[in-house]
Amino acid sequence: MQKLTIKDIAAMAGVSPTAVSFVLNDKSGVSEDTRQKVLEVIQKTNFKPNLNSKRLLFQKSFNISLVIKQNSSPFHDLFYFEITKGVLEKSKEYGYNIVFTDIAFDNGKAVLPEIIEHNDTDGVIFFQDTEPTIRNEVEKRNIPYVVVDVHSSSEDFTYVRADYQLSAYTATRYLCEKGHQAIALICSSFIPDFYLNIVTGYTNALKETNTPIPPHWIQADAMDEQTAYQCMENILKHKDSLPTAVFCAGDVYAIGAMKCIKNHGYHIPSDISVVGLDDILLSSYVEPPLTTIAIDKFHMGSEALELLVRKINGESAQGITVQSDLLIERASVRNCL
Domain CATH for 311: 3.40.50.2300
Closest CA relative to residue 232, chosen from 208, 255, 201: 255
Q: 113 in a domain, yes or no?
A: yes
- Same-domain check for residues 39 and 92: no
pLDDT value, residue 258: 98
- Same-domain check for residues 184 and 272: yes
CA-to-CA distance for 258 and 241, rounded, in angstroms? 18
CA-to-CA distance for 264 and 267, rounded, in angstroms? 9
Non-local CB neighbours of 240 within 8 Å, separated by 6+ positions: none
- Same-domain check for residues 40 and 149: no
Q: Provide the domain limits for residue 260.
A: 164-295
Q: 55 in a domain, yes or no?
A: no
CA-to-CA distance for 60 and 57, rounded, in angstroms? 8
CATH number of the domain at 14, please. Answer: 1.10.260.40
Backbone φ, ψ for residue 167 (5° rounding): -60, -45
- Same-domain check for residues 117 and 74: yes
Closest CA relative to residue 273, chosen from 244, 242, 250, 252: 244
CA-to-CA distance for 59 and 325, rounded, in angstroms? 42
- Same-domain check for residues 266 and 172: yes
- Same-domain check for residues 157 and 302: yes
User: Residue 135: how many CB atoms within 10 A of its CB?
Assistant: 16
Kindly give the confidence (pLDDT) of every residue in the chain, 337 residues in length, as a single tens digit, with 9 standing for 90 and above: 457 777 888 888 898 877 877 777 667 778 888 889 888 888 888 877 665 555 555 567 788 999 887 555 555 577 888 999 999 999 988 888 899 988 877 776 777 888 888 888 999 999 988 888 889 889 999 999 999 999 887 778 999 999 999 999 999 999 999 999 999 999 999 889 999 999 999 999 999 988 888 999 999 999 999 999 999 999 999 999 999 999 999 999 999 999 999 999 999 999 999 999 999 999 999 999 999 999 999 999 999 999 999 999 899 999 999 999 999 999 999 999 8
Q: 29 in a domain, yes or no?
A: yes
CA-to-CA distance for 16 and 174, rounded, in angstroms? 68
Q: How many domains does the structure of the chain reveal?
A: 3
- Same-domain check for residues 185 and 285: yes
Q: Could you tell me if 221 and 189 are in contact, meaning their C-beta atoms sit under 8 angstroms apart?
A: yes
- Same-domain check for residues 21 and 69: no
Closest CA relative to residue 170, chosen from 204, 212, 221, 211: 204
pLDDT value, residue 305: 97
In sequence order, what DSSP letters do the residues of 227-275 get, joined into one string?
HHHHHHHHHHT-GGG--SEEEESSHHHHHHHHHHHHHTT--TTTT-EEE
Q: 239 in a domain, yes or no?
A: yes
- Same-domain check for residues 45 and 75: no
pLDDT value, residue 220: 96
Q: Could you tell me if 290 and 251 are in contact, meaning their C-beta atoms sit under 8 angstroms apart?
A: yes
CA-to-CA distance for 42 and 48, rounded, in angstroms? 8
pLDDT value, residue 58: 56
- Is beta strand 245-248 parallel, antiparallel or unpaired with respect to 183-186? parallel
- Same-domain check for residues 234 and 277: yes
Task: Identify the bridge partners of residue 34 per DSSP, sorted by sequence position.
Answer: none
User: Residue 106: how many CB atoms within 10 A of its CB?
Assistant: 7
- Same-domain check for residues 279 and 311: no
